[in-house]
Amino acid sequence: MENIETKIKTAPKDFFVFIGAMAALYASAVSLINLLFEIINASFPDPLSFSYDNFSSGMRWSIASLIIVFPIYIFLSRFINKDLAANFLKKNLGVRKWLTYLTLFVAGVAIITDLILLINTFLGGEITARFAFKILAVLIVAGTVFAYYFYDLKRDVGQKSNQIKLLAWAVSFAVLASIVGGFFIMGSPFTLRMKRFDERRVNDLQNIQYQIVNFYQRKGELPNSLDELKDPIAGFNIPVDPERAVPYGYEKVSDLNFKLCADFSLASNAQTDSKYMTRPMPISSEFFPVNENWRHQKGAVCFDRKIDKDLYPILKNPKM
């Protein structure tokens, strides 16, 4: 029996199935950790951070990867286990042992590094809930991988294991819960699209505002309508609403006051001032030394602006 076990060879199918399963495992583990990190960042915002990814690009990538790669890993793992149960001698395949020990090594290094970081940060008195939860996330994911494959090496592959089924269901539930949590924070694809439209509207209004101030400095008065800002030579065309293709609202209130209006899909607190932010974030313009606040409600909103003659004096000899 020992000679038979020693001489068993790795078939091409076995090689690629084991390689595929391990690749899917690593991709799933990394994506799950990244997703948990993004959820932790949103739930425990850094007080020193003045920005947050409104469109959660990192979270989107992690969710997309888990939706595709994790089921592949489950499928390949079940295929391997069924194959091992039917051909128990394959437990001695070189590719299986090499990849399993490699996974144990990587998971073990991750756990040890995680614990070292935890102790070092604790001794430095710098531990925070945000950091502690990230350490815990890595520890749970790496520990689960290590425990499973350590058990997989010792178990009798010829018999069905209820422990493996229970672990598979528990891990699947944890991954599903993480994905649902990510969607809860990130919002639906439809919501993200509306956020992008609103960000475009704010950018357009900033651009129009700069053109209005530039017009005032060069001509000594505010334009009566946005059409006066058109400059075919400079290549400036008045932007329109990206979703509805209608012009933005403008009103000259007085010699120094004007209004800019737009119809927003969401309230700004659903974009940049949500509970996942540490503070309200005014959107700055490099042309305005003082940050203008573009916070808005859902629907039609007008922003009142007043030109400070000291900050924006009329140019005597404007450069063309």
Together in a domain, 81 and 221: no
Last residue of a domain, one of 187, 214, 230: 187
User: Is residue 77 included in any domain, yes or no?
Assistant: yes
Together in a domain, 133 and 252: no
User: Is residue 138 included in any domain, yes or no?
Assistant: yes
Neighbours of 54 (CB within 10 A): 20
Residue type, 318: P
User: Is residue 311 included in any domain, yes or no?
Assistant: no
The pLDDT assigned to 232 comes to 77
The pLDDT assigned to 28 comes to 94
Together in a domain, 178 and 215: no
Together in a domain, 92 and 167: yes
Q: What share of residues in the chain are helix, strand, coil (percent, to 5)?
A: 60, 10, 30
Last residue of a domain, one of 187, 205, 223: 187
Together in a domain, 120 and 39: yes
**53 is in which domain, residue-wise?**
2-187
Together in a domain, 18 and 133: yes
Is 235 exposed, middle or buried, given 0-12, 13-18 or 19+ CB atoms closer than 10 A?
Answer: exposed
The pLDDT assigned to 84 comes to 83
User: Is residue 312 included in any domain, yes or no?
Assistant: no
> Strands 249-252, 257-264: parallel, antiparallel or unpaired by DSSP?
antiparallel
Residue type, 208: I
The pLDDT assigned to 51 comes to 53
The pLDDT assigned to 146 comes to 93
User: Is residue 320 included in any domain, yes or no?
Assistant: no
Per residue of the chain (320 residues), give pLDDT as tens: 444 445 577 788 888 998 999 999 999 999 999 999 889 888 887 665 555 555 567 888 999 999 999 999 999 998 888 888 888 778 878 888 899 999 999 999 999 988 888 888 777 776 788 888 989 999 999 999 999 999 888 887 767 778 888 888 999 999 999 999 988 887 777 888 888 899 899 999 999 999 999 899 988 899 999 998 888 777 788 999 998 989 999 999 999 999 999 999 888 864 444 443 434 444 444 444 444 588 889 999 999 999 988 888 888 766 65
Together in a domain, 107 and 171: yes
User: Is residue 319 included in any domain, yes or no?
Assistant: no
Q: Taking the model in full, what pTM does it have?
A: 0.70
Together in a domain, 129 and 15: yes
* Nearest-angstrom CA–CA distance, 212 and 250: 10
User: Is residue 62 included in any domain, yes or no?
Assistant: yes
Together in a domain, 44 and 160: yes
User: Is residue 143 included in any domain, yes or no?
Assistant: yes
**Domains in the chain: how many in total?**
2
The pLDDT assigned to 176 comes to 95
Together in a domain, 242 and 179: no
* Nearest-angstrom CA–CA distance, 134 and 131: 5
The pLDDT assigned to 278 comes to 37
Last residue of a domain, one of 187, 214, 241: 187
Together in a domain, 34 and 181: yes
242, 200 contact by CB (below 8 A): yes
Cα-based angle 251, 252, 254 (whole degrees, multiple of 5) = 145
Together in a domain, 95 and 207: no
